Structure 1
Amino acid sequence: MEIKIHDWLRAPECSVNFQAAADKRTQGTGQWILEHSKYENWKETSNVLWIQGKAGSGKTILLTTIIQDLRETAPRNVWYHYFDFRDNTGLKSTYRGLLLSLLQQVGSNADGIHSELMNLFDRCKQGISTSQPTVCDLENVLRSILVDVGLGYIVMDAMDECQEKYEVYQWLNEVGGIPNLYMVITSRDHFEPRTGEIYYQISLNNSGIDQDITMHLDREIVKYGFKGKLQDEIRESLIVQAQGQFRWVDCQLKNLQKCGSPSSTRKALQKLPRDLEETYTEALEKAYESDDAENAHHILLWLTYAFEPLNIGQISTMLAVDLERENVEEEGQMDFKLHLILDSNLVTVDQNRTVLFAHASVKEFLMKSRNITTLFQINAVIAHEKLAQACLIYLMKFVSYDQYFQRKGHWGASITFGDYAVFNWPVHVRRVEEEDSESKVFKLIRSLLQGQLKQWVARYNPGYVAPAEPLHWAAALGLARSVDLLLEGEAEVNAQGGPWGNALQAAVHNGNESIVSVLLQNGAEVNALGGFYGNALYAAADNGNESLVRVLLQKGADVNARGGYHGSALQAAAIRDHEAIVKLLLEKGADVHTQGGLYRNALHAAAHNGGETIVRALLENGAEVNAQGGTYGSALQAAAVSSHEAIVSLLLENGAEPNVQGGYLGNALQAAALKSHENIVNFLLEKGAEVNAQGGYYGNALQAAANTGATAIVSLLLEKGADVNAQGGYYGNALQAGAGCGHEAVVALLLEKGADVDTQGGLYGNALQAAADKGDQAIVSLLIAKGAQVNIQGGRYGNALQAAAANGHETIVNLLLQEIFPMSTQGTYYDSS
């Protein structure tokens, strides 16, 4: 389950950035900040520490010293996020990416997955596919976990590279009141901090950073092989001109290393570039004058605008695509040597063989300096057109050959250029459409969709085996110009097939209103059935697109059309908590009693999802509060199993019957007991819930509570008259449930209240066998002390001894054998070896 949650979150990986900085840090640097008065004061308060410095001043490297210090106080509760301007995935430079990054670190660790994160995962799994959590979901769950964790440190590096700074500011102010939560932030020195009234600010321009640069330079000079008097001259020149920038110093050392003699090195020292901008300009001019100028330009375009990090192999393959001849040159004729095409001050390769700009300031420089040369102009429209062309040309040549494609790598990153091309050409094309609707890439798209559609789909989504028309895919991918061209040709607007059933549903799935309008204008049938969603209106409601819901209704969409996983558009909107769409559908005559789908009706769906406003709206429009059916049997059980206390109260106020039977958990009381929600259990009992009602997966509420180890609820149910020896359900009785799940306190309480220690039935036959299977020595000893028969037969393993032996619980085997043969020679009866 842990791996599934990590893949679902798709959180940005920041540890690589941190490790690279840690590897660069010179021993002994950064120690001055640990003695800085503002740093010491910050550690005593739990406010924000804001560290500022110019580009390349070593802020990230300084953080490695700080984090090392913080980990001495909280070894497992220091959480790091790096905002990275170089990243085009939208994860490392956005507020959502920050939340995902922190939630993964805070909510999932060596102790397991926090219950709040698990609950969010379970909620998002509802429906056809695992949907992504909203920003609001992430905020709420992260806050809950941070409160629960206690002492912790959040470290946010390079805040100036965040695209959504003010959203982060607002969040900082909201979590700033959490006790024992400390925050460290770094940014450029021109950046204006806004985190409320209280924070400590340290500027690296007036600090010990110059001393750190001297120590770093002493190490690097030796590493680069400079010796004697020349070493002293280099040190003196670079220290004088460094101006607090580690990055500038490192760039100059790389350039000086390329000099062939001491005399040429001294000449280079006389004309050192003044700053990083001059350093990058010199590197670009050198590339422009080389025979590899065109390749250098293409690499810069890819690194600036590619939607995924690219590795060495992908870059090498990309350069083999001839855009003019629309062909792919034979690869492998010689080794790819990136450093001979572009200076290492501009690009670098990390430990995962990913090609990156050597520093965020390189990309920033390229984006600002648009007219360095005609060739190296970094223009978004030109870039996306070239990238789209390269992808399409490659796919048309190799899409059917397995050797040119591999599975997606860790966190979804592509491994080969073929993988990148399969998934990203549509995104590049959409960017081209925004500026140039007559680009020649559309001819390539048409060729791919009409000639090799089946092969491409097999790569793009292997699960979609049903045939689909080119028009369907153009609509689903949001390719407006391609849709126009296909309709101008011979494409049939209502052709059936494929995952969406028809082009209209595909366009609605994509959320592209202009394409939907074009299809409707060309005769698309608004109520056509079939496909993933069943009909277009359901697709719009499920995706929360109110505007498209209105458009479809205006064009005659049947508001009560049946279909889709949830049965109707109304139920889909209810489970997704799209309040405005629910109200709109009701206004247009949606039937609140329509049956079908996972939850049977809209009221059940809304009750389970926690949409109190939607529940109220459905009740006001005549929804039957006690309607039966679906996974949870009733709206009350659906609300109880999701611990929505306010909705449980609302339903009971509107006449919900607390003893309605049916569904997975039999009744609402059993559902509340299983989820350990004491308030709801109490409330239901006060409203007349039958404490011994039988049915459902666990047979009764007492067994459900025992299964989860909810001692307080077990006690409450017994006080209200629950039969301690009631039979039925998965475990047979409450005692076996408590024993089988390792809840010693529950077992002791049940025995104290008269539970029969040898009652037979259920999964394990008896409580002793259940505890033996679990390997819980304390519960086994407790049961034996209460008179459990060690040799009693039955159940999954036949007897307790066999249960313990089958699972390798050596201590329990010996304990049971000593009970069976009490007069035998003392010693070990069982040896797992």
Structure 2
Amino acid sequence: MRDEQRREKIDRWLSFPDPSTNYNKALGQRHERSGSWFLESDTFDKWKMQRNSFLWLHGIPGCGKTILSSAIIKDLESIPSFQPLLYFYFDFNDPGKQGLESMVRSLVSQLSRNSDDTWKPLDSLFSACRDGCQQPTCELLCNVFLHMIEQAKEVWLVLDALDECITRAGPSTKGLLSWIRELLNSKQRNVHLLVTSRPEQDIESEIMGFAHIDDVVHIQSSLITDDIRAYVRTVVREDDRLKRWRSRPDVQSEIETRVMEKADGMFRWTVCQLDALEDCLEYRSLHKALGSLPKTLDETYARILRGIPEGHKQYATRILQFLTYSQRPLRIEEAVDAIVVDTKGDEYFNPKYRLPEPREILRYCSSLVVVVSAKEHSYNKDDKSEELRLAHFSVKEYLTSNRLREDMAQSFQETVVKTSIAIICLAYLLHLDFELPIAEIKNGFPLAEYCATYWITYAAVAESMDETLQRFIREFFCSHRISYTNCYNLYRPDNSEKHGEPASALYYASFGGLVNAVKYLLSQGADVNERGGFHGNALPAASRQGHDEI
């Protein structure tokens, strides 16, 4: 019997992302029998039964690949003989789900729960890492995973959205595509691997280097037309958003026909059009909207952005900026505070301006954002908080592309956005210029920990180019000691203990690579040799972070 306390300790040490949140979200969007064209195919049957089998399902953006992945996982879960079943979703919305190492950590954890035999290699690795006092390298994790697979008779593995992995290139201990090749070439040859992605050139080139033509399934529009039609029919006839037309079956049929005429295999496009039709309160506006449906996702997103009321645009832009470039997903209560911050007025933040109903923040951005459970980022199993995320990878791609309308493009340039977020974070921290226990700050000011953790990361990108940002940094470092202390009691970037006084401003500026701030602090008489922080003083703090200019 495994020691459950040791199990929990190893889970914390692995710090693996939880793919079940992606699975549950996609499953919730799936309609009955969608994906049956594949689930009932000979291709899928062969993959399930043939040892060391491989399938690559690819299709255009928005064709429903992730929903299909979840249908596949659900189908496999229903058959006890298809165990152990492992899965992972790469996710553009979550930096913790974008790399090979994150995936392997999750798969190792999943497989370790299968049996004592698959548990033992992980337990041995934990012991070799001084019972969790040090982290394993990605190479060690990859090797342990292969060793764990050897202990299982067969393994079924589903990987969704390879194109959303940012570490695709490189050797098998660093790059996802080489890792896949090595996995299929492992000596046990007992893996059934199914992957989905867009047909990106690097993915196609690598996969076709080892896969047979029969191992590739192109998700064509003709294959998923029935799935989209079933989805449209369900929304039109059963969703409360369009219930006003239930007494008009002729209008319901018109909606279904017009949307299906232009869907062309794009689930995501279809979702956006039905969302937009919710705003048509009478037939005249509905008929007009159906007669001018956008042809592409780009046109759809452009229309959504144009349709945001003038009074909402500032809030909508700030939400989309944060979600496009955030270091991690934002909880709803964090996003609510982020849009209230006023970086140009005398009062940086006033809680009275918060939304009375936090979930109504969705109304600023229409179909571009969604709310999901935040439980996976908390060790509290009863955590019921929610996160705000971009609705689809194609939204982020559009906002960061050269296809964005010229008057909007400036607002989503990376340097501009990161400068803006850094200033917002500093303004929020400067508001906290009063003494409160840290627990009360976290409870009363939900954005505080995010700001304390990430402001310097954003600031380092643009500090030298923006005078307003420099002014906020100087104000924070030099004029508001209580705000400064609160910040570094919320988060110590050098991982030093959170008891005792924080290190000096020069120390943290050096640690974060803020060259202009360091120059300014030195000009004001800051002591280079002042002791404090994990690294002792400012010079080694800069050196060990690789900030050679400092």
Matched, 1:20 2:25: yes
Relative contact order, CA 8 A, sep 6+: which one is greater?
A: 2
**CA distance, structure 1, for counterparts of residue 349 and residue 445 of structure 2:** 20
Q: Deviations over 1:28-87 (max 9, x none)?
A: 221221232322332324232000111111111112221123221545521111111233
CA shift at 1:508, angstroms? Answer: 3.2
C-alpha contact (below 8 Å) 1:150/1:181 kept by paired residues: no
CA shift at 1:197, angstroms? Answer: 2.2
State the secondary structure of the residue aligned to 2:17: coil
CA shift at 1:110, angstroms? Answer: 8.1
Alignment of 1:106-505 (within 5 A): 106-108=111-113, 114-125=119-130, 130-166=133-169, 167-178=175-186, 179-191=189-201, 192-193=203-204, 194-195=206-207, 196-199=209-212, 200-205=215-220, 208-224=223-239, 225=243, 226-227=245-246, 228-287=249-308, 289-325=309-345, 327-333=347-353, 334-335=355-356, 336=358, 337-343=360-366, 345-352=367-374, 353-369=386-402, 371-375=404-408, 377-398=411-432, 400-402=435-437, 405-406=441-442, 416-433=446-463, 436-450=464-478, 451-452=480-481, 453-461=484-492, 462-465=497-500, 468-505=503-540
Alignment of 1:338-737 (within 5 A): 338-343=361-366, 345-352=367-374, 353-369=386-402, 371-375=404-408, 377-398=411-432, 400-402=435-437, 405-406=441-442, 416-433=446-463, 436-450=464-478, 451-452=480-481, 453-461=484-492, 462-465=497-500, 468-515=503-550
Residue 90 of structure 2 is matched in structure 1 by 83
**CA distance, structure 2, for counterparts of residue 459 and residue 310 of structure 1:** 17
**CA distance, structure 2, for counterparts of residue 109 and residue 482 of structure 1:** 52
State the secondary structure of the residue aligned to 1:329: coil
CA shift at 1:125, angstroms? Answer: 4.1
**CA distance, structure 2, for counterparts of residue 3 and residue 308 of structure 1:** 24
Residue 791 of structure 1 is matched in structure 2 by none
Q: Which amino acid aligns with 1:274?
A: K
**CA distance, structure 2, for counterparts of residue 428 and residue 326 of structure 1:** 23
Q: Which amino acid aligns with 1:116?
A: P
Q: Which sections of structure 2, spanning at least 5 residues, go unmatched?
A: 1-5, 170-174, 375-385
Residue 60 of structure 1 is matched in structure 2 by 66
C-alpha contact (below 8 Å) 1:156/1:186 kept by paired residues: yes
Matched, 1:46 2:52: yes
Q: Deviations over 1:479-518 (max 9, x none)?
A: 3332222222201212223432222222233233332xxx
**CA distance, structure 2, for counterparts of residue 171 and residue 502 of structure 1:** 41
Matched, 1:9 2:14: yes
**CA distance, structure 1, for counterparts of residue 502 and residue 277 of structure 2:** 60
Q: Which amino acid aligns with 2:345?
A: R
State the secondary structure of the residue aligned to 2:471: helix
**CA distance, structure 1, for counterparts of residue 124 and residue 311 of structure 2:** 58
C-alpha contact (below 8 Å) 2:118/2:152 kept by paired residues: no
C-alpha contact (below 8 Å) 1:99/1:142 kept by paired residues: yes
% of aligned pairs identical? 29
**CA distance, structure 2, for counterparts of residue 29 and residue 498 of structure 1:** 56
**CA distance, structure 2, for counterparts of residue 6 and residue 113 of structure 1:** 15
**CA distance, structure 1, for counterparts of residue 178 and residue 255 of structure 2:** 47
C-alpha contact (below 8 Å) 1:464/1:498 kept by paired residues: no
Residue 711 of structure 1 is matched in structure 2 by none
TM-score (norm 2): 0.85
What is the number of equivalent residue pairs in this alignment?
501
TM-score (norm 1): 0.57
C-alpha contact (below 8 Å) 1:398/1:404 kept by paired residues: no
Q: Which amino acid aligns with 1:357?
A: L
C-alpha contact (below 8 Å) 1:326/1:393 kept by paired residues: no
CA shift at 1:280, angstroms? Answer: 0.7
Max radius of gyration: which structure?
Answer: 1
Q: Deviations over 1:158-189 (max 9, x none)?
A: 11122122311111111112322111111114
Residue 378 of structure 2 is matched in structure 1 by none
C-alpha contact (below 8 Å) 2:370/2:390 kept by paired residues: yes
Closer/same/farther in 2, CA of residues 42 and 206 from structure 1, 3 Å limit: farther
**CA distance, structure 2, for counterparts of residue 250 and residue 438 of structure 1:** 40
Q: Which amino acid aligns with 1:78?
A: L
**CA distance, structure 2, for counterparts of residue 397 and residue 17 of structure 1:** 36
**CA distance, structure 1, for counterparts of residue 466 and residue 70 of structure 2:** 51
